[in-house]
Each structure stands twice: as C-alpha cells, then as structure tokens.
Structure 1
C-alpha cells in the first residue's frame, strides 16, 4: 500500500523533531517552502503542518510561522557554562526589565568579594519563547570595571560570557549552582505563575584568574517548562 506523500513528508519532519535535529522552538518550513521542496500543492503542505500541530508537535502562529512545540524543554546544564552553546540560547526574545549602574550593596544579587561601594552593572531581563510566553527571568550583576561599556550594548541580544571574553576579561573558571526557591510576587508576575510556586534557579559565577568574581547571573526558569540534565561520556573501562 502506497503511503500518501503528505504522510511521508509529515513523518520525515516528525523524525527530525523526535531526534532533536529540529529542537523545540525551531522554525519549520512554510507552506510555500514545503510546496517548492516536495512539489506538492499548497493545500497538501498546509495539511502537513496542521497535522503536526494537531499532534502537539508544532505550534502555528498567524503571520509568524510554524515552530516545533516546547511542551517540556530539556536543558543541558553544561550549556550554561559553554560560550558557544550559551550564545545560541533558547529560541525567543528578551525583554529588558531594568538596567542600571549601582553600588554592589544595592544590586539585586550579591557579587562575592565585592565591597559595598564597588560599582556594578545590574541587568534584569525576561525571556519570552517563540509563542511570546514567559520562559525565564535572568538577573546579571557584572563588575563595572570589567564591563564599563556594557550599557551601550544591545541589551536584548547580549550574551554576557562571550561579551566579556571578547573584551579580554580573564575569566579563569566558571562555577554553577542550583538553588531551590519559591516564587515571590515579582517573579510570579513576570512568569505568569502563582506566588509561592516551587522553582529552580541556575546561578553562575565567572571568576578571574586572581579568584575575584567578575559576574553573577541567575536564571529562573518558569516552573513546569523544563527538565535539567547533565550528560557526560562514560569513562573508559
């Protein structure tokens, strides 16, 4: 029995989604793209994308496109400390909640080793996914002496680790923490959750070769939207 072409096309896309070749948030081909690639009608291409959406594998957004669904994002914690992976980030966009230069004592996060009057740059952003739904809240506190021009950067697109490395800041080590918390009123509002909901914060510290801390950044991911994991090669026998 011959499998209809639209089913063959759909299965091919499904296989890429399930293998991770098309990760959550990735943009799928448009109806026009599918029509040209497979030589099918616009109606057939539309059926392929609609079938994927009905199966929960894709999300169709009017005038924006079709994206791989993100029911439960799996996040490799190693990506949080790897510049190349961190630069890719989660698909979506940032909203800047606040950005200012303040004393370390007044910053939203404590910068280990910094005296109370040390100048720091404080940046708070909210990440929205491809569906324009809240994904996470990020808070950065960066030593001003290491990044005096940070406020002149495109703060919506900024990835601080590669930025600091481009500036020649001697980042010697990266330490990662996981802190269990419950959402306070401000974070619950930003993430569209209930106050008091249990959550997990990833906290990263960048340390210079003299042991001082250059940056502290926390990422509070919306509860129920992600699973965190570490995957390492098995040791040789």
Structure 2
C-alpha cells in the first residue's frame, strides 16, 4: 500500500477535518471487508506516518471507531477490528456450541475438570437442596475460532440426573448434553458483572481488570434442582437480549 498516496488523497479533500477523514477511511476498510474481524489495525505510529498527522489526531479517530464498536483496543496487544457480538436471549437456555456454529464460527471445547464426589455443604448450598448424595463438578472452556468465548463452572446433582454419571464430558459439552437428554420445567438466570482477576484474565485471554459478564443459572424439574452453572464471558464480546410483549 502506498502510504504517501493515502496521505495525499486524504489531505486533498475539502470535506471533514483530518481525524474524521482518517476515521472514515478506516471505517470503509472495515465495512468492505478489506480489514476483516480480528484484523490487527496498524499501530498508532504507523497510522501517523500513513496519514501525516499527530498521535492526538489518530487517537481521536480510533476513539470514535471504538465507541461505534467497530474496533477493539487491547492494552499492550494493539487495536483489532471488532468481531460481531454474541447475543444470548435471557428468556431461554442457549446451547453454547449451537450459538457459536450458528454464526459460522468454529467451535472449540476443552474440559478442565470433571470430578464425581459426595456432595458437601457448599455443593448443597449451591444447588439449593438440604441433602443429596453425589454430584459431578465440571469446569470447561468454550471457544470460537480458537478465541476463548466462555468459562463454564457446573454442578450436576446425580440424585436428580443419575444418567450423567456415565457421560464422557471430555467429548460432550455438559450444557449441550443436558439440553438434549434431560428435560427441565423451570429455570432462573441471575446476571451480574465483575472485573477479571488474574485467573479469569488468563482463562479468557483478556486483560486483568477487564469487564466480565456472569450468568448464574439453576434448572429444576418438578421442584428438584438438576444443575447449577456459572458462565463467565468477556464483557466486550457478549451481551444479553430479551424480547417480550405486553399482555
């Protein structure tokens, strides 16, 4: 790409101020697919050379693009073209694998931990039951196009779902298996936000202190808890949507 030609082309126009011309030029490259989702945008000093302007001018243009959700600025990593945000409906239980593949992205799954044990007091409190026998504790990571998408921390009550004891969760994601094999009658979502600590940041490949979306969900069948799960997402790549009608 001829940097001098790009600079002269922008400066020869009478229309917007230079930072707006820079913003429009980058926006055009993104919207036409020349710079696809995930593409690393040139560093600020490279853009300064390309457009013959100050760092302040470049930064102002990038800030507007970031506010429009067209780019994502990552500390120490650089600036990237934003990927489409994932939308999860609040009023149904999504299958994470199906969510990702429906967007035409490659699904990845990694089982971190699967442990069968006698339920302890913390397990019973989390499931909301006074007593139960055994549980399966599962931790796993879901990814989209090899980028971490969600961390799942799940507890399954084996008294309520005994068939889960024979499932190989290294192959079958627990949420997908449950949705296809275990009917439920009631569910609850509790939605909150946290900032990533060192462990969360490493698991999701985000910066420490970055915003995270947390969904705590319980499902029941006939008043008996089936499973309790906590899902952790990067707040910059995921949002929830609910649509409903008045009576």
TM-score, normalised by the number of residues in structure 2? 0.57
Corresponding residue SS for 2:172 = coil
**In 2: Cα distance, 1:231 partner to 1:161 partner:** 23
Q: What SS is found at the alignment partner of 1:54?
A: coil
Distance apart, 1:190 and its partner CA: 0.7
CA shift in 2, pair 1:193/1:109, >3 Å:
farther
Paired residue for 2:219?
206
Q: CA RMSD in A?
A: 3.3
State the distance in 2 between where 1:161 and 1:149 align.
14
Kept in 2, the 8 Å contact 1:109–1:216? The answer is no
Q: Structure 2 regions of 5+ residues with no counterpart?
A: 1-30, 40-80, 102-106
Q: Counterpart in 2 of 1:193?
A: 206
Match of 2:115? 100
Deviations 1:34-87 (A, max 9, x none): xxxxxxxxxxxxxxxxx965242588xxxxxxxxx97141313247525xx566
Match of 1:8 in 2: none
* 1:184 corresponds to: 197
Alignment pair present for 1:224 and 2:224: no
Which residue of 87, 91, 95 corresponds with 1:75?
87
Supply the distance in 2 between the matched residues of 1:108 and 1:127 (Cα, whole angstroms). Answer: 26
1:138-177 mapped onto 2 (5 Å cutoff): 138-156=152-170, 158-160=172-174, 163-164=177-178, 167=181, 171-177=184-190
Assess if the C-alpha contact under 8 Å between 1:174 and 1:206 holds in 2.
yes
| CA displacement at 1:107 relative to structure 2 | 5.0
In the TM superposition, residue 114 of structure 1 has moved relative to its aligned partner by 4.4
Alignment partners' CA distance in 2, 1:180 and 1:58: 25
CA gap of 1:52–1:101, structure 2 versus 1, over 3 A, is farther
1:90 maps to what in 2?
100
The 2-side partners of 1:137 and 1:108 are apart by 22
Match of 1:112 in 2: 128
CA deviation map 1:138-169 (0-9, x unaligned): 111010123334254242553546644665x5
Instruction: Evaluate the alpha carbon distance shift between residue 137 and residue 144 of structure 1 in structure 2; reply closer, same or farther with a 3 A threshold.
Output: same
- When the two structures are aligned, how many residues end up with a matched partner? 170
Any idea what SS the aligned residue of 1:90 has? helix
Q: Does the alignment pair 1:56 with 2:36?
A: yes
Partner of 1:215: 227
Query: Is the 8 Å Cα contact of residues 213 and 238 (structure 2) preserved in structure 1?
Result: no
Give the number of the structure whose alpha-carbon radius of gyration is greater. 2
Scaled by the length of structure 1, the TM-score of the pair is 0.59
Asked whether the 8 Å contact 2:109–2:173 carries over to 1, the reply is no
